[in-house]
Structure 1
């Protein structure tokens, strides 16, 4: 007889840790947390939950890494959390002729276990503790993606515990080449449709994975805000030229006078535009270090984006080491001098835990072109807002495009295949106020005093709305039904950086629905998969795929 899965209830010492993830804004009060070690544990947990009529108004949710930007996993209506983090094996499956990665594995699990044993890599994210259960199902990208594409571009199959009849869970394996169309829909839905929509993901299989370069060239650099405050035009020049570089690179129109015949598909960068209270703006760079022209290409890129920083022999803005943590990445002062490192070593150097355990709010945007002058002015205005002070508030601008844009818009559920940058707006804070006067800081303080989060939420919301004011406060998808989007240089939002604000008509005055901003025209097929595999809406949250209404 199979053993029952581990259930961690409120009297267990582990309960406090397991009912929350990294983001301390969201803390659930479930009856218990199931620590699943096999897919059978997941089946058992779902059977128990669905068999209890008292759970009809409560949710069952699933967590792998626990980065949880919104309260989709942890909220007051959650009855059970299934934690799959113990399901973290990475191995070759000869029956599938594919590499299998279990849903509880993290970016770091997949990186180390795959690379050390096979020399291959999944082009996953730069925060090593992010769980692949959600990372992959939302599309997944990282420092190799401009060269290799998205994680889902290699997805061959997925194992999901589904409950199509609302009562009886079963393990379902859906393949890219399944003969059953409903299974192909289920596979496709996991190539960018987001986690927690159709069932509990337990395993992924991948084919065609590639070898990363043996060595990469890495560099980090920072510029002091005091210099930019003295010369706002130079801050704006940095943002403008950074965006132009990736727009021109994507279009094949980089100026020959600056770049000759250089190619940059292997270049990945993260520009960290912090609030001025941080003291420094940062930039992290990685490109293939095996190519003979890597050093020259890096220098040409840096010269281009900082072209206005120097007049003659006079530097108006000096380069400094990135010697402090910014956002979700650690200090990297040792990479101030361009450094050639083995790919795995560099990955460990650039990666961090994904963020300390603190509260956070996030927003996102895909960009199909460089920044407009309105956007540049708005970015500068909010990053120099003297009424707000938070060194952990920023907008991170990731390079995008390259191999990502080689894939067709309908081949996966990720339809944004023409963007050149992806933005992540971030604000972090700690409780910092003993609201209940008990001598300690904890989540109860935030429950008693919502204004602890108030300044941070107002800042990031105002920032976002201002940047996208011409399109109703959101990074719109171009659509003739919304005339304001005609000249938009944006293409919606990233489902793995979920943001409930885009569902709020007071904050999204364009009226373009949240599902169009995430999924564009993919949403109809995602709804078809939802109707087939979760018609009873067992798996739901504030922005889950809706079961289509029967006409």
Structure 2
């Protein structure tokens, strides 16, 4: 490059950075001015609105990022503004002011969305972080609770336990998951066979809609209430809180964790698990982890080699004592070889801790820790199985996993109460006829593009390999295991067609009703993301979004 060209390039770069910075400041000033016009005091605004220039901006942004792929990444954009509301009215006004400043709104209630779409975007956006709105009100008398969207499942379980040891709630086993996203995406846990999904136990909700109104079930109407129970709340508004129906749990529950490798009859155990896990007593939930591992050789001779194998881990919650569990499992699932020593009796709250990988001396107040596990790079995918995978199919899958060496599978049994509910009762359609759901899982700590490419390639290769054994037409997927591989939407002229690609996989025939509800309550498609529910017609906001991307 000549010296004159270099000077011109540097001059352009300085002007670009100056104009971008000036524009960002202008957007921030406009947003703050808008909030002030809504009668929010400046002292309040300064405590809940953050620009990238604020010293707390990065720490707030990073506090609830759960996937290291999107942590401090130079390849993903950051919000131009972060809002951390402390009142419901703050949320309503943030929606209105985001509209007035022509920005996109992203909503984060916990950060466990596997693709990070609650805190990254291709265009300029406001991130509404709900972590301050986490109050929990337990009504022991009528066995219900109001839970704000920013609360974690751990906080919910702890608060239930503090009020009553006879009550629990059927939701996820990871305590740092945010209530807002978990519930609105469907939600499930280790009591789904007894009590159904999380959404099957939701009684009411509070929602901020596109015009800033705060609605409950009565004022939003049954169509919208139906949509936010499994259709993803972020397509329809901002979830403020859910009213949930608590469930009665026995004084004693039983937990077991049994591991088997291939030379310990693991394959036969998995074959039999497939045939009983969704049909066995509804009090029993048995999760199955399939992982490639390396077993160290016990032969100390020189040149002795370690062995690569598959480990099958059966993890169970039984809503009863160990005697009844032993009788049940030995009759229905003898291949497991369950022993009395495998069974640990405990209270329900202690089982919550055990499923979250705490040891048996941990105090329940550990559930109040919102930080969670150390940050890893990760990728997840999902599938549904309708027919048992034959033994030779399992053997080929296991050999494939051993050859790759990293990606694992999690099998979650269905059946029971959740399968008795019609698939159009909620947007979540994966009910009767499903034996189990698969989560594909890979984590890594190595830095760099090459490592990421290798791990992503492995999990995608395994997903492709599984095609003959999983659901078809459509190949179904679970919304809360967000996976951008199955389709994305840039909200352009073909948004409905693009939305249908992933929408049918997540919602099957319920997708059509979700589109109708979306078109009714948010016709201009203000609430949108890379996999949101589209409207029936192309939104004028699609064109505006494209123009705004060019400005930044």
Q: Using structure 1 for the length normalisation, give the TM-score.
A: 0.75
Alpha-carbon distance change, 384 to 77 in structure 1, aligned in 2, over 3 angstroms: same
Structure 1 residue 520 displacement after superposition: 0.6
Alpha-carbon distance change, 238 to 290 in structure 1, aligned in 2, over 3 angstroms: closer
Is the contact made by 2:260 and 2:266 (CA closer than 8 Å) also made in structure 1?
Answer: no
Query: In the alignment, which residue of structure 1 is the partner of 2:170?
Result: 123
In the alignment, which of 334, 342, 349 is matched to residue 337 of structure 1? 342
Deviations 1:143-201 (A, max 9, x none): 111111111112121111111xxxx422122x2xx3x7x62111000111023111111
Alpha-carbon distance change, 151 to 504 in structure 1, aligned in 2, over 3 angstroms: closer
Alpha-carbon distance change, 336 to 140 in structure 1, aligned in 2, over 3 angstroms: farther
Is the contact made by 2:380 and 2:482 (CA closer than 8 Å) also made in structure 1?
Answer: yes
Q: Following the alignment from structure 1 to structure 2, what is the Cα–Cα distance between the partners of residues 512 and 411?
A: 20
Q: Report matched runs for 1:28-427 at 5 Å.
A: 28-53=77-102, 55=103, 59-75=104-120, 76-92=122-138, 98-118=144-164, 119-163=166-210, 168-173=211-216, 175=217, 178=218, 183-207=221-245, 209-224=246-261, 228=262, 234-246=265-277, 249=279, 264-277=281-294, 280-290=311-321, 293-300=324-331, 303-305=334-336, 337-352=342-357, 355-373=373-391, 375-385=393-403, 388-390=404-406, 393-418=407-432, 419-427=434-442
Structure 1 residue 477 displacement after superposition: 4.3
Is the contact made by 2:273 and 2:333 (CA closer than 8 Å) also made in structure 1?
Answer: no
**Partner SS for 2:151:** coil
Q: Following the alignment from structure 1 to structure 2, what is the Cα–Cα distance between the partners of residues 135 and 221?
A: 28
Q: Following the alignment from structure 1 to structure 2, what is the Cα–Cα distance between the partners of residues 532 and 275?
A: 48
Q: Which sits farther off after the overlay, 152-161 or 298-307? A: 298-307
Query: In the alignment, which residue of structure 1 is the partner of 2:367?
Result: none
Normalized per residue, the structure richer in helix is: 2
**Partner SS for 1:221:** strand
Alpha-carbon distance change, 375 to 541 in structure 1, aligned in 2, over 3 angstroms: farther
**Partner SS for 1:289:** coil
* Residues paired across the two proteins, number: 451
Q: Which sits farther off after the overlay, 61-70 or 346-355? A: 346-355
Deviations 1:234-291 (A, max 9, x none): 44323222111235x2xxxxxxxxxxxxx51111122110123487442211102248
Query: In the alignment, which residue of structure 1 is the partner of 2:70?
Result: 26
Is the contact made by 1:221 and 1:336 (CA closer than 8 Å) also made in structure 2?
Answer: no
In the alignment, which of 499, 504, 528 is matched to residue 516 of structure 2? 528
Structure 1 residue 469 displacement after superposition: 4.2
Q: Over aligned residue pairs, what C-alpha RMSD do you find?
A: 3.0
Query: In the alignment, which residue of structure 1 is the partner of 2:362?
Result: none
**Partner SS for 1:140:** coil
Q: Following the alignment from structure 1 to structure 2, what is the Cα–Cα distance between the partners of residues 543 and 523?
A: 12
Is the contact made by 2:113 and 2:480 (CA closer than 8 Å) also made in structure 1?
Answer: no
Listed as ranges, the gaps of 5+ residues in structure 1 are 250-262, 308-318, 320-334, 434-448, 479-490, 506-510
Is the contact made by 2:274 and 2:388 (CA closer than 8 Å) also made in structure 1?
Answer: yes
Q: Following the alignment from structure 1 to structure 2, what is the Cα–Cα distance between the partners of residues 205 and 136?
A: 11
Deviations 1:205-249 (A, max 9, x none): 124x3211221111112234xxx2x68xx44323222111235x2
Q: Following the alignment from structure 1 to structure 2, what is the Cα–Cα distance between the partners of residues 127 and 513?
A: 29
Is the contact made by 2:488 and 2:531 (CA closer than 8 Å) also made in structure 1?
Answer: no
Q: Which sits farther off after the overlay, 265-274 or 349-358? A: 349-358
Deviations 1:473-513 (A, max 9, x none): x74246xxxxxxxxxxxx711110011112289xxxxx993
